[in-house]
Amino acid sequence: MQALDGIRILDFTQMMLGPYGTQLLADLGADVIKVERPEGEWERSLEMMGELVGGESAAFLAMNRNKRSVAVDLKDPLVRRALLELGAGCDVIVENFRPGVLARLGLGYEDFRAVKPDIIFCSGSGWGQDTTFARENRPGQDLLIQAMSGLAASTGRRLDPPTPAGTAIVDHATALMLANGILAALLARNTHGIGQKVEVDLYSTAIAMQCQEISTFVNQKKDYERSEEGIGQAWLSAPFGIYGARDGWIAVAMAPLAAIAEAVGDDALLDMDAWL
């Protein structure tokens, strides 16, 4: 028996934020029913490095295991009725359309709550459901969020341009937030008998991921400039980062200068200012 055996999730998500989060729940035993458009989720055909794997995207396959799928037209009134009937037998609804899209189709939180009062309805978005950028209908995408949150600006060396992470790190972290929020809501329903709406967004997650940096900047009120040599994090002293060597690169973390001086046989390192 798995932790979420008996839990059924109706999944309206696409790309990474939603699908990776619901996959984590499926891995815990939840029955996840993925709702796709008639031609299938567009990520199915997203080539990675210019190729597909057996006719499917490697990205899609990485985020949609342990799910069942149904392909429908959400604008069809009969489909809407069928999905609400299906939702009445579900525990969780998950979506990551732009704010308000499912509600306009008659498939929002209030619609599902009408057929199942203790439903858990989770929405994922880029900027939140009711923020300035959400109301302006701005696209919320991992790279844009890395840029706007300051995450990219604190990565790399001083003379480098703002540098995004080598993976969709904000999407991934927000998927974890989504799964965590749903698990908390399931516990609350089991404990208190209530359903609720859960909201997660990329921007809030990106800010939360930088809790140490932001606390440092706000409380110490110092201008931040990236290290010329690539110190990995703004509040730490050297050596902490990835440094060039004659035969490649070396990652050094949490090693005092004295230890490095001994390791490389150079006592001159002892006279260095670790904050520069």
Residues involved in catalysis: 171
Nearest to 177 by CA among 53, 60, 21: 21
Per-position b or e across 97-129, b if 16+ CB within 10 A of its CB = bebeebeebebbbebbbeebeebbbbbbbbbbe
Q: Yes or no: say if 182 and 94 are a contact pair by the CB < 8 Å rule.
A: yes
Q: Yes or no: say if 111 and 103 are a contact pair by the CB < 8 Å rule.
A: yes
Q: Report d(CA 26, CA 208) in Å as an integer.
A: 26
Q: Report d(CA 171, CA 17) in Å as an integer.
A: 5
42 is written with which tokens?
A: 């567009």
Q: Report d(CA 130, CA 35) in Å as an integer.
A: 25
Q: Report d(CA 96, CA 13) in Å as an integer.
A: 5
